[in-house]
Structure 1
Amino acid sequence: MPLSCSADLYLTAICVLTRLFLCQQRNIKRNGSRGCVTRKTRFGSRERDWLKGDPQRGCVCLYGGTVDPQPPASGPQASSTPQTDLQLVLCSTSTTVEELCAQRDGQALYVQLHGDLVRRLEPSERPLQMVYDYLTSMGYADPVRVQQEAANSDLSCLIRFYSERPVNADQLERTLLKGVFSVRKGKTQLHKWAERQVILCGTCLIVASVKDSLTGKMHILPLVGGKVEEVKRRQHCLMFSSAGSQAQTYFVNFDTLADYQRWHRQASKVVSQTISLVDLSCYSLESVPEYLFYSQDITHLNLRHNFMSLQGPEGLLNLSRYQL
């Protein structure tokens, strides 16, 4: 067997094993999610015809969008097969993010490498060229072979594109909890229960004075050093208390056990802290959550490994105007 052929087979075996390993790790981490190993390919005759004759043509798999079952009449087009979770977009290595968004009426595209941070792509970046460059860095040299490997949907285990910003429920839970619940202020039974919007962000509990409105007075309850306790005489109810001699107390009655457990778990982490620390590192954030600035007692704020800009209204240079 020729040496070049042996090396090619060896490279293929390494890549396949790598994909399988990463997919299995993803499935273990994300319970119940469908991994790329078991996902059926969406390639059909239309896609295969598009690839013929030009190795610079290819297909980008977009996750998180809904495909229009009626594709455009000409030019690089989205797959005609409607899918709610995976969309095949035909393009070339010169096709930019701006062009892909224009043909899909989308706002932005996002990329994720190896299941790590999710980054918004710049309008001038070229997704298919990114895939080709990725494969080239892995050792593929033949243009036709690169095109073939790039067309495999299971490559998304290594490099994945999203048509909208993916929402990780666990990550969102640690950043911000929000909902409308039945609330009572103070420990005395004289206070009445009322529907209020409640937010847990940073180091404080925020209770709106009017249901579904944040335009009126906001009640801010610092939680670091305080208490969060189960109210046994009422189902799915928690008592939140701030620390100090002027401590305030709010009772929040949640609609479901899942909500109750989610808020109890997150609030317990906050009250157990010895310093007013908020760790938002590695969250793929593009701006600081606005409700974070209600936490006037924050002394340590970790924003490393995000994608925030320095300039602009939500830029890092404007953080100095807040009392952090």
Structure 2
Amino acid sequence: MKRNGSRGCVTRKTRFGSRERDWLKGDTQRGCVCLYGGTVDPQPPTSGPQASSTPQADLQLVLCSTSTTVEELCAQRDGQGLYVQLHGDLLRRLDPSERPLQMVYDYLMAMGYKDPVRVQREAANSDLSCMIRFYSERPVNADQQERTLLKGVFSVRKGKTQLHKWAERQVILCGTCLIVASVKDSLTGKMHILPLVGGKVEEVKRRQHCLMFSSAGSQAQTYYVNFDTLADYQRWHRQASKVVSQTVSLVDLSCYSLEAVPEYLFYSQDITHLNLRHNFMSLKGPGGLLNLHTTFQQEGSCPHVCEHWLF
């Protein structure tokens, strides 16, 4: 998995100003938490110790104390939750009762810092965000999105005969299948599901940025999808080639900080192996693990579809 913790570190321009230094004086339990991914008011409020004071649109410098909880920070900012990332690795949603600044202090003390004043000073160091970083909303990872779900509206033609017409359709690549909606940009109508494991994905040379998707077996179906850009074409070709080359119907969604299984995965009726290790899914709820097997069965999958689970 790619690690990107060193990218986008807080620059010197976003270091503490006089207001932040005044906040720190006289109490080592006071500090600042940098929140990435939020929206900042260009004119920060003048009252309240937890107001933001940095002008960057993707970074908030939030004043707080070691007793400030996630719930309090979210209430002050009208936020839905906070996420933490260690060393550029997995992202985890924080519990409402967790205290972000205390987490930073604990992190530093585990590294060997003992003096409270030194801990407070190091916690204010902008470079620390490369090792422990907080997000005000779940960041979108392009690599993760490509691996778990590809989706778009493209020109599609069914079958190999030229008699079939091209039409705009919503196309989804998720799990082990290609999903083509019968109505443009809508999944309310009939959906055509093409199993790809053991099938083929080939370049259509007579048409620019076009791929042919075919399922395996005697009842094989074929869809042609014409992509708008070379980047889209390459992205879909790369991901589909991985699926068709598999010998078993394996879906590997490990190590991607998922909180729920992508809903389109349930249309893959041939899955026998599903790897969900190292994610943050709950046991209960719509996307919980307890409801996973039931949902697969309700979507028409075979009873043994979830024979092998790797948590």
**TM-score with structure 2 setting the length:** 0.91
CA 69–155 in structure 1, closer or farther in 2 if over 3 Å, else same: same
Q: CA deviation at 1:72?
A: 3.6
- The CA distance in 1 between the partners of 2:309 and 2:205, in whole Å, is 39
| CA contact 1:186–1:249 (8 Å) conserved in 2 | yes
CA 322–291 in structure 1, closer or farther in 2 if over 3 Å, else same: farther
- Please give the per-residue CA displacement for 1:241-275, whole angstroms capped at 9, x wherever unaligned: 00000000000000000000000000000000000
CA 66–184 in structure 1, closer or farther in 2 if over 3 Å, else same: same
- The CA distance in 2 between the partners of 1:231 and 1:267, in whole Å, is 15
| CA contact 1:60–1:89 (8 Å) conserved in 2 | yes
| CA contact 1:67–1:78 (8 Å) conserved in 2 | no
- Please give the per-residue CA displacement for 1:216-252, whole angstroms capped at 9, x wherever unaligned: 1010000000000000000000000000000000000
| CA contact 1:42–1:88 (8 Å) conserved in 2 | no
- The CA distance in 2 between the partners of 1:104 and 1:38, in whole Å, is 23
| CA contact 2:70–2:97 (8 Å) conserved in 1 | yes
- The CA distance in 1 between the partners of 2:82 and 2:239, in whole Å, is 31
| CA contact 2:5–2:88 (8 Å) conserved in 1 | no
Answering whether residue 308 of structure 2 is matched by residue 321 of structure 1, we say: yes
> Which moved further from structure 2: 35-44 or 123-132?
35-44
CA 196–318 in structure 1, closer or farther in 2 if over 3 Å, else same: same
| CA contact 2:14–2:54 (8 Å) conserved in 1 | no
- The CA distance in 2 between the partners of 1:224 and 1:39, in whole Å, is 51
**Percent of counterpart pairs with the same letter?**
92
- The CA distance in 2 between the partners of 1:295 and 1:42, in whole Å, is 49
CA 65–37 in structure 1, closer or farther in 2 if over 3 Å, else same: closer
Q: CA deviation at 1:73?
A: 4.5
Answering whether residue 81 of structure 2 is matched by residue 108 of structure 1, we say: yes
CA 186–322 in structure 1, closer or farther in 2 if over 3 Å, else same: farther
- The CA distance in 1 between the partners of 2:230 and 2:19, in whole Å, is 48
- Please give the per-residue CA displacement for 1:150-172, whole angstroms capped at 9, x wherever unaligned: 00111011100001101110111
| CA contact 1:110–1:164 (8 Å) conserved in 2 | yes
| CA contact 1:62–1:86 (8 Å) conserved in 2 | yes
Answering whether residue 69 of structure 2 is matched by residue 81 of structure 1, we say: no
CA 32–192 in structure 1, closer or farther in 2 if over 3 Å, else same: farther
SS in 2 for 1:147: helix
- The CA distance in 1 between the partners of 2:133 and 2:246, in whole Å, is 36
- The CA distance in 1 between the partners of 2:211 and 2:6, in whole Å, is 32
Unaligned stretches of 5+ residues in structure 2: 293-306
Structure 1 residues 273-292: aligned runs within 5 Å: 273-292=246-265
Structure-2 residue corresponding to 1:295: 268
> Which moved further from structure 2: 78-87 or 242-251?
78-87
CA 40–74 in structure 1, closer or farther in 2 if over 3 Å, else same: closer
| CA contact 1:64–1:86 (8 Å) conserved in 2 | yes
CA 201–318 in structure 1, closer or farther in 2 if over 3 Å, else same: same
- The CA distance in 2 between the partners of 1:189 and 1:87, in whole Å, is 56
- Please give the per-residue CA displacement for 1:55-98, whole angstroms capped at 9, x wherever unaligned: 00000011111211233443222333321122100000011101
CA 148–306 in structure 1, closer or farther in 2 if over 3 Å, else same: same
CA 267–130 in structure 1, closer or farther in 2 if over 3 Å, else same: same
Q: CA deviation at 1:40?
A: 3.8
| CA contact 2:10–2:126 (8 Å) conserved in 1 | no
- The CA distance in 2 between the partners of 1:230 and 1:31, in whole Å, is 33
| CA contact 1:66–1:82 (8 Å) conserved in 2 | no
Unaligned stretches of 5+ residues in structure 1: 1-27
SS in 1 for 2:71: helix
| CA contact 1:296–1:323 (8 Å) conserved in 2 | no
CA 309–32 in structure 1, closer or farther in 2 if over 3 Å, else same: closer
- 2:168 maps to which of 192, 195, 200: 195
| CA contact 1:177–1:199 (8 Å) conserved in 2 | yes
| CA contact 1:242–1:249 (8 Å) conserved in 2 | yes
CA 43–323 in structure 1, closer or farther in 2 if over 3 Å, else same: closer
| CA contact 2:53–2:62 (8 Å) conserved in 1 | no
Greater helix fraction, Structure 1 or Structure 2? 1
- The CA distance in 2 between the partners of 1:97 and 1:135, in whole Å, is 19
- Please give the per-residue CA displacement for 1:252-306, whole angstroms capped at 9, x wherever unaligned: 0000000000000000000000000000000100000000000000000000100
SS in 1 for 2:310: coil
SS in 2 for 1:84: coil
| CA contact 2:274–2:308 (8 Å) conserved in 1 | no
